[in-house]
Amino acid sequence: MRKFTLFVVGLLVVCSIFPQKVKAQVVINEFVANGTPEWVEFYNSSPSADYIKNYYLDDDQNFLDDTGSGTKKLLTSLNTLNPTFPYFETTSFFNNSGDWIILFDQNGMMLDQFQYTSDPGRDFPIGRFPDSTGSFLMLSYSTKADGNSSPPTPVPTPTPTPVNIQKHRSQPPAVHRKGRSKSQQRPLSWVLRQTQPHTIRCLLPIKQKTIKIR
Ligand SMILES: [Ca+2]
Ligand SMILES: [Ca+2]
Ligand SMILES: [Ca+2]
């Protein structure tokens, strides 16, 4: 019994030194900060999203203090028609020029956060791609209560086709003798070899001539 008690105490000590990292069931997935309304969509991995209605959305990192910023919003009016992508709408809460999007649970524990530092543009969405796990990016179009669109695809610029220099360095053009038909022409180098005196002597046939003596 004493050994079992020591084992349990030891296990509790180990767990307190190395706490298990708990994966959040809900994260910020997409938002429009410059729009009417402004809205924040979440990705929820649980079958129901009702528990998120007890959570808070804030635009600064201090859960208890809202001095100098908007008062944090209790997500009571969260739209949960699609429990995987619930969203919350508000007005004039997030600064267009840059702000924090922060999700706190009911105890003030920060679950997720993202800071943007410039105006993304009217009704322009920023969100994770892919959903839930991806980085925050400018997205092609907003998808409130649905899976996020991909970031805009950059227009490809044509790349110059490399020139095969070796291919274009083919054999030099042959020089032909004038005054011959094309079929009779030969490259100059070949002609020069055939006109060497010693070569001609070798190639010329010897003609025999018959002389009649009267
Ligand atoms: Ca705004
Ligand atoms: Ca605050
Ligand atoms: Ca979405």
Question: Tell me, what's the pLDDT at 163?
Answer: 61
Q: If you measure from the C-alpha of residue 92 to the centroid of ligand 2, how many angstroms do you get, rounded to a whole number?
A: 15
Is there a domain that residue 127 lies in?
yes
Considering every ligand atom shown, identify the ligand nearest to the alpha carbon of residue 36 and give its number: 1
Question: Tell me, what's the pLDDT at 114?
Answer: 98
Considering every ligand atom shown, identify the ligand nearest to the alpha carbon of residue 131 and give its number: 3
Is there a domain that residue 175 lies in?
no
Is there a domain that residue 55 lies in?
yes
Q: If you measure from the C-alpha of residue 102 to the centroid of ligand 1, how many angstroms do you get, rounded to a whole number?
A: 15
Considering every ligand atom shown, identify the ligand nearest to the alpha carbon of residue 116 and give its number: 1
Instruction: Evaluate the omega torsion of the peptide bond into residue 37 and state whether it is cis, within 30 degrees of 0.
Output: yes
Q: Is the separation of the CB atoms in 35 and 87 below 8 Å?
A: no
Is there a domain that residue 154 lies in?
no
Q: Is the separation of the CB atoms in 138 and 114 below 8 Å?
A: no
Total count of domains within the chain: 1
Question: Tell me, what's the pLDDT at 2?
Answer: 54
Task: CATH number of the domain at 75, please.
Answer: 2.60.40
- What does pTM read for this prediction? 0.65
Is there a domain that residue 78 lies in?
yes
Is there a domain that residue 198 lies in?
no
Is there a domain that residue 157 lies in?
no
Question: Tell me, what's the pLDDT at 23?
Answer: 55
How far, CA to CA in Å, does 111 sit from each of 44, 78, 194? 12, 17, 93
| DSSP notation for 29-50 | EEEESSSSSEEEEEEE-SS--G
User: What is the block-wise mean pLDDT of the chain (214 residues), using blocks of 10 residues?
Assistant: 46 41 79 98 98 98 93 98 98 96 98 96 97 97 98 80 58 48 43 38 44 50
| Ion ligand 2, residues whose Cβ is below 5 A away | 58, 60, 62, 66
Is there a domain that residue 200 lies in?
no
Domain interval for residue 37: 22-138
